[in-house]
Structure 1
Amino acid sequence: MTRIAIVIGSTRPGRRGTAVARWVEEAAGRHPAVKAGEATVEIVDVADFGLPLLDEAAPAAFGQYSNEHTKKWSEAIASYDGFVFVTPEYNRSVPGALKNAIDFLYNEWQNKAAGFVSYGVQGGVRAVEHLRLTLAEVKVADVATQVGLQIFTDFTFEDPTNPMDPGAVTPGPHQEPTLNKMLDEVFAWAGALKPLRETAAA
């Protein structure tokens, strides 16, 4: 069975990422591979791990972790075959918390697949461009199809003038088919890369 983590990349109070990740999880539950028991998806929230700014003395490639928070993060990420990263766009890039979380590890990311669900005024697409470069360095195979949720068309707000209103995720009708196509690619790549993961583990 292919295990996919939906990684919430923002840790900001009042973030929209939690609602977006729940939409991804719910919609993914309707995907044929998930319904058939061939794949599972579950949310992994960076905020739950309490990662400080990178505080390991040894480079991540050595896998010699001295801190308990790193070991817990390592164990979680190592258990998955691929990822769907949920990220907003902060100043044309990803949140610092997500970049920091990626930098904590190295081998745990390798030979796995990744897709992206971004959100923001511009749909978060520029954040994903940066994220693709970072993940390439840790040998994650990113798929082409991505979901970009627009703040003004894919969310509904009780009070649009209130910047603290996270809004409800109400994706347009085209978004779930795009998500399904992305998941098709993530599942396929995760499966194709399995022999490399097994060789590395051996």
Structure 2
Amino acid sequence: MTNPKIAVIISSTRATRFADKPTEWFMKRAARRTDLDFEVVDLRDFPLPFFNEVASNAWAPTQDEVGVRWQQKLAEFDGYVIITAEYNHAPTGVLKNALDYAYPEWNKKPVTFVGYGSVGAARAIEQLRQIAVELQLAPIRAAVHIQGADFFGAWQGGQSLDDMAHLEPSVTALLEDLAWWASALKTARQAVTPPQEIQTSSSGE
């Protein structure tokens, strides 16, 4: 079986976003894995309009071209790491919109988070875990929270996340858990009998 493919989603699109620093920091560590393949997916490259479809693509095809392109991109992956800020105790609006723009593409795949902010985006991540469950994603326990002095030091104090050795155990735990869940769920998805084969078998009896 080929390595599970993981999307690292940058979920802030502001011109002055901090997200690029934790993304670069995380990707350096992710690149050391030999059992997972990673790709950065930037929401700036998918300028989704505010959701205005007749329904979720679980029920009706999406008409917006960018929405379709977003769904096609998500379908390439076996799991997701979301780099997330926290705005007023919540995820970014563009991230919530992007989550809503797909459904079957998310199903039965693991997701985890690298959060940053005064409390490491802990409150936003709790909300994202609830949303993930509704999308039939499998949110894993391990996450990274870049918070307090670490966040302000990297944001405004000229410090480097690479020098913050105390963050390493959390990113290691995240990657270990992600590797297990991505492999297990990929195997399970591939083992499911396609619905059309079930129907053919039933109709022949």
* Root mean square deviation, CA, Å: 2.0
Give yes or no for contact 2:154–2:160 (8 Å, CA) kept in 1.
no
Which residue of 2 is the match for residue 19 of structure 1? 21
TM-score, normalised relative to structure 1? 0.87
The AA in structure 1 aligned to 2:82 is F
Match of 1:51 among 45, 48, 52: 48
> What corresponds to 2:127 in structure 1?
130
Q: Which residue in 2 is equivalent to 1:191?
A: 183
Pair 1:41-2:33 in alignment: no
Q: Which runs of 4+ in 1 moved over 6 A?
A: none
| 1:164 alignment partner in structure 2 | none
Matched position secondary structure for 1:47? helix
2:177 is paired with a residue of what secondary structure? helix
**Greater fraction strand:** 1
Moved more, 53-62 or 74-83: 53-62
Amino acid at match of 1:106: Y
Residues of 2 paired with 1:187 and 1:144: CA distance?
13
Q: In structure 1, what is the Cα distance between the partners aligned to 2:16 and 2:159?
A: 12
**Distance verdict in 2 for CA 1:99–1:132, change over 3 Å:** same
For residues 51 and 168 of structure 1, do their structure 2 counterparts lie closer, same or farther at Cα, with a shift above 3 Å needed? farther
Structure 1 residue 156: Cα displacement: 3.5
Aligned partners of 1:148, 1:111: CA distance in 2, in Å?
24
Q: Which residue of 2 aligns with 1:5?
A: 7
Give the structure 1 partner of residue 64 of structure 2: 67
Residues 182 and 200 from structure 1, CA distance in 2 versus in 1: closer, same or farther, beyond 3 angstroms?
farther
Gaps in structure 2 of 5+ consecutive residues: 196-205
User: Distance between the aligned counterparts of 2:116 and 2:28, measured in 1?
Assistant: 17
1:176 to 168, 183, 187: 168
- Identity of matched residues, %: 35
For 1:151-162, list aligned pairs within 5 A. Answer: 151-154=148-151, 156=153
Other-structure match for 1:163 = none
Name stretches of at least 5 consecutive residues in structure 1 with no aligned partner.
161-166
Rg larger in structure: 2
The answer to whether the 8 Å contact 1:63/1:106 transfers is: no
Deviation string, structure 1 residues 102-159 (Cα, Å, up to 9, x no partner): 0000000000001110000111111100000000000111111111002522453686
Residues 1:144 and 2:138 are matched in the alignment: no
- The CA distance in 1 between the partners of 2:102 and 2:77, in whole Å, is 14
One-letter amino acid of the structure 2 residue matched with residue 82 of structure 1 = G
Q: TM-score, normalised by structure 2?
A: 0.85
Q: How many residues align?
A: 191
